[in-house]
Amino acid sequence: MNAQQFRSAAHEMIDFIIDYLENIRSRRVLPTIQPGYIREMIPEAAPERGESWQVIFQDIERVIMPGVTHWHSPQFHAYFPTGNSWPAILADILSDAIGCIGFSWIASPACTDLEVVMMDWLGQLIGLPSQFLACSGGTGGGVIQGTASEATLVALLAAKSKAIKRLKLMDPNFEESQIFSNLLAYSSDQSHSSVERAGILAGVRVRLLETDECFSLRGETLKLAMEEDRAKGFIPFFVTATLGTTPSCAFDDLSEIGTVCQQFQNIWLHVDAAYAGSAFICDEYRHYLNGLEMADSFNFNPHKWLLINFDCSAMWLKNANDVVDAFNVDPLYLKHDRQGQAPDYRHWQIPLGRRFRSLKLWFVMRSYGAEGLRAHIRQQIQLANEFQQLVAKDDRFEIPVPPAMGLVCFRMKGENSQNEALLKRINDSGRIHMVPAKLRGQFILRLAVCSRYTESHDIVYAWQEVTSHADHLTG
**CB under 6 A: which stretch of 20-28, 32-40, 243-251, 328-336 binds ligand PLP?**
243-251
Give the residue among 238, 294, 228 at the shortest CA–CA distance from 267: 238
Is 192 one of the binding residues for ligand PLP (CB under 6 A)?
Answer: yes
Smallest CA-to-CA distance from 272 within 189, 150, 148, 132 is with 148
Candidates 24, 274, 401, 409: give the one binding ligand PLP (CB under 6 A): 274
If the CB atoms of residues 311 and 465 are measured against ligand PLP, the closer one turns out to be 311
Q: Using the minimum distance from each CB to ligand PLP, give the nearer residue, 154 or 390.
A: 154
**Burial annotation 138-175 (CB, 10 A radius, 16+ → b, else e):** eebbbbbbbbbbbbbbbbbbbbbbbbbeebeeeeeeee
Least Å from the CB of residue 115 to ligand PLP? 18
Cα–Cα distance, 278 to 439 (Å, whole number): 24
Q: Which stretch binds ligand PLP (CB under 6 A): 66-74, 239-247, 263-271, 338-346?
A: 239-247
Does 73 bind ligand PLP (CB under 6 A)? Our answer is no
Choosing from 112, 188, 242, 297, the residue that interacts with ligand PLP (CB under 6 A) is 242
Residues 212-231 that bind ligand PLP (CB under 6 A): none
CB of 242 to ligand PLP, least distance (A): 5
Interaction between residue 313 and ligand PLP (CB under 6 A): yes
Backbone dihedral angles phi then psi of residue 146, each to the nearest 5 degrees: -75, -40
Interface segment toward ligand PLP; rule CB under 6 A; list 107-115, 142-150, 370-378, 464-472:
142-150
How far is the CA of 139 from the CAs of 109, 134, 150, 339, in angstroms?
A: 20, 7, 21, 16
Binding of residue 447 to ligand PLP (CB under 6 A): no
Residue with Cβ nearer ligand PLP (164 or 409): 409
Residues of span 407-426 touching ligand PLP by CB under 6 A? none
**Nearest CB to ligand PLP, comparing residues 261 and 274:** 274
Task: Classify the C-alpha dihedral 133-274-401-440 as positive or negative.
Answer: negative
For 151, 183, 235, 265, the CA distances from 231, given in Å and listed in that order, are: 30, 13, 9, 16
Residue with smaller CB distance to ligand PLP, 267 or 271 = 271
Nearest to 237 by CA among 253, 226, 221, 228: 226
Q: Of the listed pieces 21-29, 224-232, 269-277, 435-443, which binds ligand PLP according to CB under 6 A? A: 269-277
Active-site positions read 192
Taking alpha carbons only, the member of 254, 94, 240 closest to residue 153 is 240
Least distance (Å) from ligand PLP to the CB of residue 304? 7
Part in contact with ligand PLP (CB under 6 A); list of ranges 52-60, 199-207, 241-249, 425-433: 241-249
Query: Does residue 80 belong to the site contacting ligand PLP (CB under 6 A)?
Result: yes
Terminal-residue alpha carbon distance, the chain: 59
Contact 418, 473 (CB under 8 A): yes
CB of 474 to ligand PLP, least distance (A): 32
> 20 burial class (0-12, 13-18, 19+ CB within 10 angstroms)?
middle
The correct pick among 124, 139, 147, 429 for binding ligand PLP (CB under 6 A) is 147
Tell whether omega for the bond before 311 is within 30 degrees of 0, i.e. cis: yes
Of the candidates 355, 313, 352, the one whose C-alpha atom is nearest the C-alpha of residue 329 is 352
Using the rule CB under 6 A, which residue among 237, 275, 288, 387 binds ligand PLP? 275
Our finding on whether 270 is near ligand PLP (CB under 6 A) is: no
Contact 192, 245 (CB under 8 A): yes
Stretch touching ligand PLP by CB under 6 A, among 63-71, 146-154, 405-413, 463-471: 146-154
**Ramachandran assignment for 366, one of left (phi > 0), alpha (psi -120 to 50 degrees), beta (any other):** alpha
462: which residues sit within 8 A by CB, 6+ positions away?
Answer: 75, 77, 387, 432, 447
Q: Which of 119, 148, 257, 412 binds ligand PLP (CB under 6 A)?
A: 148
Contact residues toward ligand PLP (CB under 6 A) are: 80, 147-149, 192, 194, 242, 244-246, 272, 274-275, 301, 313
